[in-house]
Structure 1
Amino acid sequence: MNKTININLDGLAFKIEEEAYERLNSYLDTIKQRLGNNEEAQEVIADIESRIAELFQYKCQGCTIQLSDVEEIIHTIGEPTEIIDEEEVGEETSDSKSSGSSTSSTTYVGKRALYRDPDDRFLGGVCAGLGAYFDVDPLVFRIIAAVSAFASLGITVVIYIILWVAMPKAKSLGQRIEMRGGITFKKMGDNIKEEYEAVSSKFKEYKNKPNYKRMQNRANKTGDVMANGLYQLLNIFGIILGVGIVIWSVLSIMGLVGFFAFKDTLLGLAFTDGEHLLASVPDRFLSYMDQSLLTAASLLVIGIPFLVVLYLGLKLIFRFKSHGKFVGMTALILWISGIVLVFFTGIRIAKSFEESGSVSKVHAFQPTSSETIYLRASEYEISSSDREYLMDIDHLELFSEDGDLIVEGAPIINISQGEKFQMIIDKKARGLNDDDAAFNAETTEYSWSQNDSVIYLDKKFVIAEEALVRNQKVIINIQIPYGKSIEVSPYLDRFIDEY
């Protein structure tokens, strides 16, 4: 069993076999000796250690790093003897290696992700990130940005700033690789070697051109300051937006709750000059339980989105940490529950029309010697002090009469001849069960009267207040004796179905 050692590499903790640790330590020491101890060399060494640490983390998460793992990394990066300082060889060799390095390429596979490239940036690394994403020289995007900045009257600058904020910075090796499409572990090693050579080349170039390095450092610092300032502005804008969202959502929720709490008064004041007639319409068509279920369902379906918006507004203001998935799933479940409750209530209302019932009553007319029977319409509406039409619902009409809500329907009149002088009033209705249907039919009010040979019939039947509207109908079957004729007033003839 090999002895293991806990090490810290670039701020990351790893468990490594002792033999593997000695091989890695010897490799890094050799590189340090070849590069020297100046500041630039230390930066290059730190970059190499960071790449190796990220590669360890990618290859072995939570496991023990073995000697074979270290050897594979060293093989892909290259032995210290293969890393040759350009100053130690002739110009021809340097040109050859430089040409070979520039023509080498890494085969990337998989989907690319859009990041800002911090290793090849001038301001924010946006153009370099776009170049990596589209596999185009970043210089092309920089030229396009510079030219269009003047041609577009500053629109390109706004677009650049938006991309600067929207595109994340490629900080880790995995993000740098993903920026170019992602590669296999073997290709990752080849990429590390190329990155190391690029860092070494950049180090020597910067050592020979200090003015450029100072200029880019100042530009980078300016870019960081601009980015921080932009983030602060976005934070302030987010707080202002959050305050507006919170105020709007709170007012909406209060309005929603207030509407359902005082809907009778509000509807009465809005539509009927203080009389709560329209607010009484649901009481004539729906039971108290159905209205309660629909109210609860409406509060869930409409109110839950307002609560979610309120939560998002508070989060924009206070930026608190929360279980977003839990809150989202809870809100979704409650909202779906409201939808289900709406369908359940709809089915419940539909079932209240399931059964049909009828009540029939025979009325014998008083004998008359007249050879002609006259059917006249009752004129009781004329005596009403205050009667106002409201609306039609199916075959019914709704009226306001002396402050009360009246639901009326037109009867069907059938006339036939027979041995008897009588009238059969057949009232029909629907309900949840037979008893409920019979009650809704029996409580339907219809009036008539007789004065010798004149029969007065109401032009409308009225649904009683204690009954729900359930497709009530009134069918009047009038039978006159043989040998007598009948005369119908012009108004009633529209109700006659058979004659």
Structure 2
Amino acid sequence: MNKTININIDGFAFKIEEEAYERLNNYLETIKQRLGHDEEANEVIADIEARIAELFHYKCQGGTVSLSDVEEIIHTIGEPTEIVDEEDAEFDSSESKDTSSSSSTYVGKKSLFRDPDDRFLGGVCAGLAAYFDVDPLVFRIIAVVTALMSFGVVAFIYLVLWIAMPKAKTLGQRIEMRGGMTFKKMGDNIKDEYQAVSSKFKEYKNKPNYQRMQNRANKTGDAMASGLHQVLNIFGIILGVGIVIWSVLSIMGLVGFFAFKDTLLGLAVTDGNHFIASVPDRFLSHLDQSFLMVAALLVVGIPFLVILYLGLKLIFRFRGHGKMVGFAALILWLAGIVMVFFTGVRIAKSFEETGGLTERHTLKETASEAIYLQPTKADVGHTKRDYLMDINHLELFTQDGDLQVEGAPIINIAHGDSFSMVIEKRARGLNDEDAEFNAKTTMYHWSQNDSILYLDRKFVVAEEALVRNQKVIVTIQIPYGKQLEVSPYLDRFIDEY
């Protein structure tokens, strides 16, 4: 014979066995101790009590509440350890009074679920973000960046996760997805669950076979949930190992490329001739090259490091500062983007100013009735050249394994009282001084032998100067009464004569 007592829950009176009352009272007191005593915690307790009262109405229907009934209802709602992890939520009553209720978060068991409340496609990124405690934006940026670089591999992984990860539908699954929940969010979810359960109980409570079906469903669901949990754990470890291997190889490849880029480009592009490595030196300053290298490492390397971190977390299930790591990674990645933009603006500004240098030469008078323009002998008999590219009328080529930059001069012919020549060198730069230096270091050779004027067909941009739209304009003044004869090698540089 069991002793019974009368209790009141949520305004409803129930007759309950003393042993069942002690179990229920201990259950509610444990939850109260762990949640604290602030206003929102009390609202959560009230919601839980309301749901218990509804379940008592359905199960007992005016009869006595037994210990088995209480145990079944506690199993339905969940043990306190499923709501709050005791080791991770240690705070006394004084702390709970001083702490803002809106910021209190409790951590418990975590599992991978798709988040249907915060999704663009299937909720995979949001579910991973909830599991690793980072902002979903981090996973979405990583997914977009890596999808463009992986030739469909990331898209396939996303599809597999979409199929393998179940969608978080119930309160327990949403709590388990995040490993914890704020008071307010927990209260809202319990209210939703309470309303849903109430309507279902009212609909099915008169069916005689409902209890038998419910018991079978509970057993089947428990077995399936346990098996699915094990499968997800194994799948998570396998996926984590694959992610770690892929990210480590990618990071090693990235570091190796920047460390040995000169040799790799020389072998891949120029069959072992390493002059290709000096091409950036002709267009970019060492400071700009350093900025671009650091920016590339940040923009490309940070997603790989984050993926490596997530892979390790999938394997070892360690607790980490996910939000802090995600925020720091996002800041560094954005810093790389800013550095790329800043360097691009700096390079563009290096073409902003125009400077020049003018050389005036008085040529020796000649008794010959004709003046001859001939190319220099060295220019005609140059060795074999390998053409690389043409940029704004400047030609990049290799000669005897060395990279050189040349341009064609503009030759103007004028008539006057004297025999003279003006050579004007122009270039662009970051400022007037820089532009003048790029122009002054441009090399153009000429010489005179009586009535023959020898001119280079090309001017050379010196190695110490950056390629900045260099030009050479040669103006030759022919005395009146003199004829001009131009070599076929030079006539294409003169518009009219």
Q: TM-score, normalised by structure 2?
A: 0.64
Shift of the 320–193 alpha-carbon distance from structure 1 to 2, 3 Å rule, reads closer
Instruction: Name the counterpart of 1:32.
Output: 15
- 1:487-498 aligned at under 5 Å gives the runs 487-497=485-495
Cα distance, 1:63 vs structure 2 = 5.5
Structure possessing the higher radius of gyration over alpha carbons: 1
Change (3 A) 1:62 1:463: same
Following superposition, the deviation at residue 467 of structure 1 comes to 1.5
Shift of 1:73: 7.3
2:192 to 160, 166, 178: 178
Contact 1:446 1:462 in 2 (8 A): yes
1:314-362 Cα shifts (integer Å, max 9, x gaps): 2222222222221111111111111111122222223333332211112
The question of whether the paired residues in 2 share the 8 Å contact of 1:384 and 1:401 is answered with: no
Give distance in 2, aligned partners of 1:497 and 1:302: 50
Q: CA RMSD of the aligned region, Å?
A: 4.3
Name the CA shift for 1:167/1:61 in 2 (closer, same or farther; >3 Å). closer
How is 1:402-417 mapped onto 2 (pairs within 5 angstroms)?
402-417=400-415
In structure 2, relative to structure 1, the CA distance for the partners of 1:162 and 1:458 (3 Å cut) is closer
Contact 2:7 2:14 in 1 (8 A): no
The Cα of 1:38 is off from its aligned counterpart by: 12
Structure 1 residues 167 and 290: CA distance shift in structure 2, 3 A:
closer
Q: Which residue does the alignment assign to 1:169?
A: 170
Structure 2: distance between partners of 1:195 and 1:59:
32
The 1:369/1:412 distance shift into structure 2, 3 A limit, reads: same
For 2:332, the equivalent position in structure 1 comes to 334
| Shift, 1:412, TM fit | 0.7
Structure 1 equivalent of residue 105 of structure 2: none
Task: Say which of 460, 463, 480 aligns to 2:461.
Answer: 463
Q: Is the 8 A contact 2:9 2:50 kept in 1?
A: no
What's 2:40 paired with? 61
Tell me how far 1:273 sits from its aligned partner. Answer: 2.7
Deviations 1:60-110 (CA, angstroms, capped at 9, x unpaired):
534699xxx99x979x97x99xx9759xxxxxxxxxxxxxxxxxxxxxxxx
1:277-309 deviations in Å (ceiling 9; x for gaps): 111011111111111111111111111111122
User: In the alignment, what sits opposite 1:307?
Assistant: 305
The letter for the 2-side match of 1:403 is: G
Q: Which moved more, 1:331-340 or 1:430-439?
A: 430-439
In 2, Cα distance between the equivalents of 1:332 and 1:164?
A: 26
Q: C-alpha separation between the residues in 2 aligned to 1:164 and 1:250?
A: 25
- The one-letter code of the counterpart of 1:468 is L
* Cα displacement string for residues 411-443 of structure 1 (whole angstroms, at most 9, x for unaligned residues): 111100001111111111222333322222111
1:32 match: secondary structure: strand
Whether the aligned pair in 2 keeps the contact of 1:413 and 1:498 (CA below 8 Å) is: no
Segment of structure 1 superposing worse, 484-493 or 325-334: 484-493
Alpha-carbon distance between aligned partners in 2 of 1:304 and 1:423, rounded to the nearest angstrom: 58
Residue 323 of structure 2 corresponds to which residue in structure 1? 325
User: Structure 1 residues 494, 27: closer, same or farther in 2, change over 3 A?
Assistant: closer
Cα distance in structure 1, aligned partners of 2:320 and 2:356? 61
* SS in structure 2 of the partner of residue 24 of structure 1: strand
Q: 1:372 aligns with which of 367, 370, 373?
A: 370
Q: Which runs of 5+ in 1 are unaligned?
A: 1-21, 87-158, 183-187
Listed one character per residue, the Cα deviations across residues 35-55 of structure 1 (whole Å, up to 9, x for unaligned) are xx699xx79x979x98xx99x
SS at match of 1:429: strand
Please give the alpha-carbon distance, in whole angstroms, between the structure 2 residues aligned to 1:462 and 1:496: 19
Aligned pairs for 1:339-488 within 5 A: 339-381=337-379, 383-488=381-486
SS in 1 for 2:8: helix
Q: Which amino acid is 2:486 matched to?
A: V
SS of the residue 2:466 aligns to: coil
Partners of 1:32 and 1:492 in 2: how far apart?
115
Q: Distance in 2 between matches of 1:230 and 1:267?
A: 49
Q: Which runs of 5+ in 2 are unaligned?
A: 1-5, 64-159, 173-185
Q: CA deviation at 1:365?
A: 2.5
Distance 1:60 1:428, change over 3 A: closer
Per the alignment, in what secondary structure is the counterpart of residue 428 of structure 1?
A: strand
